[in-house]
Structure formats: structure tokens, C-alpha cells
Amino acid sequence: MNFTPAKFIVRALCTKQTPSNRFWFKIGDTASVSKAFSAADVQAFADLSGDTNPLHLDENYAKTTRYGRCIVHGVLVNGLISAVFGTKLPGRSVIFVSQNLKFTAPVFIGEKVTAKVEVTGMEKAMVTLSTTCTVPENQKVVATGSVKLYIPRPAADNTAS
Amino acid sequence: MNFTPAKFIVRALCTKQTPSNRFWFKIGDTASVSKAFSAADVQAFADLSGDTNPLHLDENYAKTTRYGRCIVHGVLVNGLISAVFGTKLPGRSVIFVSQNLKFTAPVFIGEKVTAKVEVTGMEKAMVTLSTTCTVPENQKVVATGSVKLYIPRPAADNTAS
């Protein structure tokens, strides 16, 4: 049986709660960005954040760990999620409220990562996106989670991420 | 009455579950790092992550928003939390498992932010830290949350963040 009443009701409610001047997207919309972080990128982030953990910076040290080579900071990979929702979907007119994030596998330096967001909920002025980061080359899922964003009315172009 | 049986039981359980060779810290331990992000830092992070939201980069645009001036990327502020647990407490020998993060106020460019972690739970090989980012100058709390980390046995110096 293909009829899924629960899903139907959720979609109907979301549509009902959506002021047309606030949400310019719908549940199910997706967007993504991709990037391969170089050793120079990782060093630059270590300099910016102060996270100089040698697993990210020192190949000799990384060889002694279970990973065998340097990995990208998880919080830098998370920057791709911010890039997607801050520049594509919904875009710059959002306020970053909260995030849940689970790291499921390491990202090695040089691996191309794709961060994808999908609109999963809209209620009043809030939108929820599911977030997934993968390495497309080998289908490795490296991070999953969700973000909540506040969407100001278009008249007040208030923005944050 | 100062006796808090629930807290006492939690502490006793945590101690019981703590292999002495795995946890070199205890519940209540804290550590912190501080940094003021410059406009150049924010531009560098925009270049790294692709998050070129003009609220972070364009003063003229930022003036049109509720904030009135450029703010630091939330995910860059979050880098300070990674820096604390990846270099101080527990330090490099950890694996970043998950995070909950709530942004409560913007961080303006040039504001000194302090990221503090506190050990709140230890169970088997996992440690939970509460995380708080504040602007000490005006006591503004800008982010709260928690992280879960896996602590490998010291014999295998496996590390991630």
C-alpha cells in the first residue's frame, strides 16, 4: 500500500503553517556543496582555530594512529554545511539557531566531501534541515545531523550563520 | 541541606566505570581557550569553507541587518571548542563522536570569545563535555552545548577531532 497518511498529514500541516512571504522553499528541497580539503587548508584552519591536534597536521604522528594518515578537522568539514545553508538553501537570510552533528567516519586530506542539506520541517519562522556529508568517490558517510534556522521576514533582511 | 545523593551516586558510578588507564581526568575538570577573530580570520574561513554569506564579509550589507555589523561564522566559533578538547581536555587522544550546539547570540568581529569545556560524564570509553562560549568582556553567552568523545586506550594512541 503506497498511501502514507502520516506523511500526507505532515506535509499538509507544513503547507498550512508556511507564510508565503517567509518561506521560498518547500519540504524536500535539497542543495549541496563539495570540496576536497588540502593539507594547506587544514593548516590554515589549525592556525585560525588553534586546534593544532597533530592528527590533522603531522603525517608521522598520524601514521601511529588507527587512521594511518592525517584527517580533516570535523569542525572544518562542518563548515561545508554552513556554506550550503548560508549561501544556497535557504541562503543568506537565515539565523543559525542550533545543530546536532554526528561524525561517522574520518575525512582524509584530499578526499572530496559533499555536504547536502534537505528541508525536513517548517514551523512558524523555523526551518529544519537534515544534513549529510559524504565522500562520493567511495560512498562513505562521514557526518549526519540536522540544523534549525530562523527565517526572518523578507522585509527585514536579517542574516546569520 | 548540602548532601546531594543523586550527584554522589553519579560520581560513584562514573568512578566505578572508569578504567584508570583510559581516563586521566575527572568529572568537573574544565579547560578553555580564547580568541578574538579578525576580519582577515573571517575572510580566511570564508575562503576555506565556501561560506561567503555577506553578513560575515561585507560591512555595508551587515549594516542593513539586525546585527548592524559583521559577525563571525558560528561554525568558526565552534572551532574553539574543538581546539579545547583536541589540545587541552582531554587532548589529542580523543575521537570526536557527536555534538549538540545552540547559538544564543552573535559574535562580532574583534570580540574576544572564550570557549570552555567541562567534563560532565564518563561511561565505558565515552566522555561527555558541556561546552560554553562566552564573550568575557560583557558576559554574553554566545553558544552552549555538549560533545561526546571516544577515548581510546592509551596503548593505541588513536586520535581525532
Residue A152: the pLDDT is 81
Q: Provide the ipTM.
A: 0.80
Q: Do A159 and B102 touch (CB under 8 A)?
A: no
**CA dist., res. A7 & res. A56, Å (int):** 43
pLDDT at A157: 44
Q: What is the pLDDT of residue B107?
A: 96
Residue in A48, A55, A102 closest to B76 by CB: A48
- Residue B121 at interface with chain A, using a CB cutoff of 8 Å: no
Q: Which chain B residues touch A45 with a CB distance below 8 Å?
A: 45, 48, 79
Quote the CA–CA distance of A143 and B139 in Å, as a whole number. 33
**Per the CB < 8 Å rule, is B65 touching A157?**
yes
How far does the CA of residue A108 sit from the closest CA of chain B (Å)?
11
Per-residue model confidence as pLDDT tens digits over B56-112: 999 999 898 888 999 999 999 999 999 999 999 998 778 899 999 999 999 999 999
**pLDDT for position A155:** 46
- The answer to whether A39 touches A45, Cβ cutoff 8 Å, is no
CA distance A144 to A78: 10
* Contacts A71 to B, Cβ<8 Å: 160
Chosen from A35, A51, A76 to mutate, greatest number of chain B CBs within 10 A: A51
Q: Is the pLDDT of residue A18 over 60?
A: no
Taking domain B5-11+29-150, whether its CATH number is 3.40.640.10 is answered by no
Do the Cβ atoms of A51 and B152 come within 8 Å? no
A137-159 mean pLDDT: 81
Q: What's the rounded Cα separation, in Å, for the pair B98 and B86?
A: 14
Query: pLDDT-derived band of residue A143, with 50, 70 and 90 as boundaries?
Result: very high
Residues of chain B contacting residue A99, judged by C-beta atoms under 8 Å apart: 99-101
Using the Cβ of B80 and the Cβ atoms of chain A, whether some distance falls under 8 Å is answered with yes
Collect all residues with Cβ–Cβ distance below 8 Å to A127 and sequence separation of at least 6. Answer: A23, A25, A90, A94, A119, A121, A148, A149, A151
Average pLDDT over residues A44-49: 94
Q: List chain A residues with CB under 8 Å of B58.
A: none
Q: Does the pLDDT at position A5 exceed 90?
A: no
Kindly state whether A104 is in contact with chain B, defined as any CB-CB distance less than 8 angstroms: no
A161 vs B53, B156, B158: nearest CB: B53
What digits encode the pLDDT tens for the residues B27-57? Answer: 999 999 999 999 999 999 999 999 998 989 9
| Residues A28-32, mean pLDDT to the nearest whole number | 98
Asked if A88 reaches chain B (Cβ–Cβ under 8 Å), the answer is: no
**Residue B67, all three cell numbers:** 546585527
Confidence (pTM): 0.82
pLDDT band with cut points at 50, 70 and 90 for residue A161: very low
Contact A49 B75 (CB under 8 A): no
Spans of all domains in chain B: 5-11+29-150
**A100 has pLDDT over 50:** yes
Asked if A149 and A94 touch (Cβ cutoff 8 Å), the reply is: yes
Residues 31-70 of B with CB under 8 A from A: 33, 35, 37, 41, 44-45, 48-56, 64-67
Best interface-test mutation with A: which of B32, B34, B41, B53 has the largest number of A CBs within 10 A?
B53
Sort strands B112-123 and A126-135 into parallel, antiparallel or unpaired. unpaired
